[in-house]
Amino acid sequence: MTSIPIRRALLSVSDKTGIVDLGRALAAKGVDLVSTGGTAKALRDAGLDVRDISDLTGFPEMMDGRVKTLHPMVHGGLLAVRDHPEHAAAMTEHGIGAIDLVVVNLYPFEATVAKGAERDEVIENIDIGGPSMVRSAAKNHAYVAIVTDPADYALIEAGETTLDQRRMLAAKAYAATAAYDSAIAQWFAFADQGERFPATLPLAFTRGDELRYGENPHQSAALYLPRGPRANGIAQAAQVQGKALSYNNYNDADAALELVSEFRDGPPTVVIVKHANPCGVATGETLIEAYRAAFACDTVSAFGGIVAVNRPLDGETARAISEIFTEVVAAPDADEEAKAVFAAKKNLRLLLTGELPDPARPGLAIKSIAGGLLVQSRDGGTLADLDLKVVTKRQPTDRELADCRFAWTVAKHVKSNAIVYAKDGATAGVGAGQMNRLESARIAAWKARDAAEKAGWAEPRTIGSAVASDAFFPFADGLLAAVEAGATAVIQPGGSIRDDEVIAAADEAGLAMVFTGMRHFRH
């Protein structure tokens, strides 16, 4: 059967949006309306003729509404295969009438959790009858239409449905119940039972934009958003202008936002990212001062990069950013002058994020591998978690310690092996993603020398800098490369079997070295 007229509809919704207009449209087509509780009241208040579910089942709603639709008169009318002789005979024998349409949306479980309700209220907002009707109707979509989204009401107002419509609606319905069950399972696992890694990991996301392509043009891609309370990240940022964001734009902008969020309570800070690695980071008295210092770190890599700031963007900083090609700018907000400056750069994407995310927030980091997923707690380690230990004869000066802390924060967001030189609250050189730490130290130093030549400085900013390593120095050679670059202070996790050798090399070079006890690998 392709096109089926709707003769009887069962309406039972928590979200009453549009339900009265739908009821009127169906009633105008002569549809018999059956409803429950608050939905029936809303329809009657609008002057519609509605039968209670108890009229259909012969039983009253009971147990505070827990039991009302779980009945053969309901599920028989949903599940019966209409042209199956035995099914038809059973319907006749037991007086079961066919139900051609079910309109259901479920108890607001996620909203109840989000508002911080007590456990008993959360449990009461686990819908049982609703998902049961949804699944029954969706299974029998050859004959029954199931609508779970008010946006689809227009499809059924004509009083009949096609098979293609019913198949589409059934697919949406099963996705809705799967996401609903996922939210319940997550609450039980994480909130109620306090599990870190439950035996089954139930995840549900809602598709946002489909992207032009993935990391490369032959790959397809889409953005998926978490369900439940609104998250606070790059995926939720408001795009003011510019081309649609690509997969790589999202990935790089996320890297920039995560790093600049480390400074959300600090002075004005600018982060410039290229290919998910910071190529320049600086703090300053003003955003423009911070941007110029960050840009000077690597003027080559900044071309076509991503800029993130921790303060509302002003016009002067926007003009400086606009002097070179920039893919994306992310900021908590922007003044009208800044927006006007960027409006002349029609391809530049301006993202306004509102409040920056908390770098110490809990959560899971998920990576796909062949045949499975790797899941870990996200790296929320911050400077506040560190118990710094000076392991050299020389103590760091206040300035060196400040630069150590700054370099360490940046190194957390650089691909391993990571080496970051910093001086006066700005990166001097960044070495990322090398197979050994010595090469990262050398590359970062080379970048600093190149930056000095381009800027016309007398010496690279690695002279008198602090250097951060995301993991311990397994040998003294990486440390000695930092000494050659002019670093005077080092911050690293420690923990190598050769720590004594590395400490001795630092003492011999007159360095001050601090151990953090925390590693920040980022692969």
Write a three-state SS string for 452-511.
HHHHCCCCCCCCCCEEEECCCCCCHHHHHHHHHHCCCEEEECCCCCCHHHHHHHHHHHCC
Summarize pLDDT for 338-356 with one digit per residue, the tens: 999 999 999 999 999 999 9
- Global pTM? 0.89
Strands (E) located in 380-500: 389-390, 419-423, 426-431, 466-469, 489-492
Among 29, 243, 275, 345, the one annotated catalytic: 275
Q: Are 241 and 352 in contact (CB under 8 A)?
A: no
Residue 75 annotated among the catalytic residues of the structure: no
Q: How far apart are the first and last CA of the chain?
A: 54
pLDDT of 66 reads 66
Please, which residues bridge with residue 278 across strands? 273
Among 139, 172, 243, 339, the one annotated catalytic: 139
Task: Please tell me the distance from the alpha carbon of residue 59 to that of residue 50, in angstroms, as a whole number.
Answer: 17
DSSP state of 489: E
Lowest mean pLDDT among 220-234, 278-292, 355-369, 446-460: 220-234
Summarize pLDDT for 86-140 with one digit per residue, the tens: 888 887 888 888 899 999 999 999 999 999 999 999 999 998 888 998 999 999 9
State yes or no: pLDDT of 1 exceeds 60.
no
Task: Please tell me the distance from the alpha carbon of residue 35 to that of residue 103, in angstroms, as a whole number.
Answer: 10
Exposed e or buried b per residue across 413-423, where buried means at least 16 C-beta atoms within 10 angstroms of its C-beta? bbbbbbbbbbb
Task: Please tell me the distance from the alpha carbon of residue 22 to that of residue 24, in angstroms, as a whole number.
Answer: 5
Summarize pLDDT for 53-82 with one digit per residue, the tens: 877 766 666 666 666 666 777 878 888 888
pLDDT of 72 reads 77
Task: Please tell me the distance from the alpha carbon of residue 477 to that of residue 488, in angstroms, as a whole number.
Answer: 15
Summarize pLDDT for 150-187 with one digit per residue, the tens: 999 999 988 999 999 999 999 999 999 999 999 999 99
Summarize pLDDT for 184-221 with one digit per residue, the tens: 999 999 999 999 999 999 899 999 999 999 999 999 99
Residue 275 annotated among the catalytic residues of the structure: yes
